[in-house]
Structure 1
């Protein structure tokens, strides 16, 4: 069986992705402000929500080195994992809110992190056949986290625009804030969880299963804490922990 690789020299530069996204965002924003035409809003949502997470995915792919998953597969994981994750998490949260009158913060973390693992759980029995490595799982997890974050940010931007009665400044602030924080949130958390899941799929031992269970519990705790706090120093600390653990996991995967 031939294996497609996703090697560093074939990937665009991270700064190029960021610069392209920023320029496109500025162009669309200026057109929206100048004309007031709501037809520009979808383009603004997509570019604003996707630029930083996409650049982070490129960054992780470079660190992962040659992996046994194609660029097309990574994109499909991002699309399918993101869509399935947001839909399932939304249904669970809505159902819980109807029963309990609200959704406790720990439940949000549990629902969303579980929903993002549905696609990887369907694939993990075949990781040996696909000759994947733990770094493949980490990259796939980051891609799914990016897809989830982009779709969620677009949804929040739309809701903010409606609730603020067309306040473009409020929408712009949300897109920028969530775009910057997304790599340290959904992308890092899902990358950690799927990397641990891939290790279990490769080793199939009690120790690797407990490692996955512990990683998943940690990810849910980080997510719940993130949702519970509303201060920049908390976000900075949680971001440092999440990104630090992701880099440590990648280093261990290479070893």
Structure 2
């Protein structure tokens, strides 16, 4: 049982947290994946109906009714430095919990918000140094921090949502850096081999396929069998891709235009980052784990309709994103709508991942199977 105060994994039957001493909620009072967090008691809202329809298109037939206020309730709670340090210790061979103690309830992430504030303060300091004191030595740091600020925040969120807590921050950072660079190089190589690489659908196919190829390097073994693992690893690769790409765009704008245009590029790419490469790659990674389970990867798994359906949706989302939509009232409404759609699917996939944990906790002696809740 995960302590709601400090996130420490305790024994299922524990009444008090062995780390901070806080009382643990009773089993019956904790919403589980088999009893999703309800947005309403008796009737579904229009938004839930839309979400259900979107998830059915993605092949996910498990109903998801989220109370986002509950999921994000720990963001506004005061946390100590020691709590953050304990979280960063997760994922090692010594701290990974046993399957019997892994929580199958919705996590309540909060560290991602602290990381965002820290990076934002650092970015603002560099911004003052460049804009007020005209110190160009700070420009590389400004571009780097600005490009990583939101993607890194989203990655930490996915890391906190990884209920198995079996992937360390060291591994996540390695996947971000190595996976981000390799996926960009793979995409560039494929683009160079194509006669026509300018259409939105081609860009979507190439870049998402490049990320999947890199994901296979991390997911081909049996070490990461959970759907939530795939979601996190995909997010790590997508974070690297998104941040490096944003840094490149910001640098190009700085060279060809001016500082104000660079600031605008960093700002808007940060605002739109949650709905782009990170969540797309996360969905692809989760889809791979849906069909793989704890088995070693085989190329035939890519023919599984569960993977193909989600990957096709990811490609379509990417392609539609890149279309010349323009803006309405200076807002990129098309990208905002696509972001909402992507996250509806992402939360549905998280629900599938939690149900996978719940199912395997009941049968811990058996191999971790590919996830159900996804239609063939």
TM over 0.5: yes
Matches within 5 A, 1:88-103: 88-96=186-194, 99-100=195-196, 103=198
Measured at CA, do residues 249 and 41 of structure 1 come closer, stay the same or move farther in structure 2, by a change above 3 Å?
same
> Are 2:302 and 2:308, in contact at CA under 8 Å, matched by a contact in 1?
no
More helix by share: 1
1:54 counterpart residue number: 152
Distance in structure 2 (CA, Å) of the matches to 1:210 and 1:234: 28
Query: 1:149 and 2:247 equivalent?
Result: no
Q: Which runs of 5+ in 1 are unaligned?
A: none
2:169 to 64, 67, 71: 71
Distance in structure 2 (CA, Å) of the matches to 1:138 and 1:131: 11
Query: 1:162 and 2:255 equivalent?
Result: yes
2:269 counterpart residue number: 178
Distance in structure 2 (CA, Å) of the matches to 1:62 and 1:70: 11
1:31 to 109, 129, 148: 129
Measured at CA, do residues 200 and 51 of structure 1 come closer, stay the same or move farther in structure 2, by a change above 3 Å?
same
Measured at CA, do residues 76 and 25 of structure 1 come closer, stay the same or move farther in structure 2, by a change above 3 Å?
same
Question: How much has 1:60 moved relative to structure 2?
Answer: 1.9
Secondary structure at the aligned position of 1:247 is classed as: helix
> Are 1:78 and 1:147, in contact at CA under 8 Å, matched by a contact in 2?
yes
Distance in structure 1 (CA, Å) of the matches to 2:313 and 2:263: 32
Higher alpha-carbon deviation: 220-229 or 57-66 = 57-66
Distance in structure 2 (CA, Å) of the matches to 1:32 and 1:24: 13
Higher alpha-carbon deviation: 30-39 or 146-155 = 30-39
Measured at CA, do residues 91 and 237 of structure 1 come closer, stay the same or move farther in structure 2, by a change above 3 Å?
same
Secondary structure at the aligned position of 2:184 is classed as: helix
Number of equivalenced pairs: 247
1:105-163 per-position Cα deviation (integer Å, ceiling 9, x unaligned): 11111111111112222333312xx1531111111111111111000000000011111
Say what the alpha-carbon RMSD is for the aligned residues: 2.5
1:165-214 per-position Cα deviation (integer Å, ceiling 9, x unaligned): xx111000110111121121111100001101112221779798211011
Secondary structure at the aligned position of 1:126 is classed as: coil
Higher alpha-carbon deviation: 180-189 or 202-211 = 202-211
Distance in structure 2 (CA, Å) of the matches to 1:210 and 1:67: 28
> Are 1:106 and 1:221, in contact at CA under 8 Å, matched by a contact in 2?
yes
2:351 counterpart residue number: 251
Question: How much has 1:2 moved relative to structure 2?
Answer: 4.1
Query: 1:85 and 2:183 equivalent?
Result: yes
> Are 1:93 and 1:103, in contact at CA under 8 Å, matched by a contact in 2?
no
> Are 1:49 and 1:179, in contact at CA under 8 Å, matched by a contact in 2?
yes
TM-score if structure 2 supplies the norm length? 0.61
Measured at CA, do residues 68 and 132 of structure 1 come closer, stay the same or move farther in structure 2, by a change above 3 Å?
farther
2:326 counterpart residue number: 230
TM-score if structure 1 supplies the norm length? 0.88
2:341 counterpart residue number: 241
Distance in structure 2 (CA, Å) of the matches to 1:125 and 1:63: 22
2:316 to 207, 221, 234: 221
> Are 2:115 and 2:153, in contact at CA under 8 Å, matched by a contact in 1?
yes
1:65-119 per-position Cα deviation (integer Å, ceiling 9, x unaligned): 23322211111111111001112212333443xx34x511111111111111122
Structure number with larger C-alpha Rg = 2
**Higher relative contact order (Cα pairs below 8 Å, separated by 6+ residues):** 1
> Are 2:272 and 2:336, in contact at CA under 8 Å, matched by a contact in 1?
no
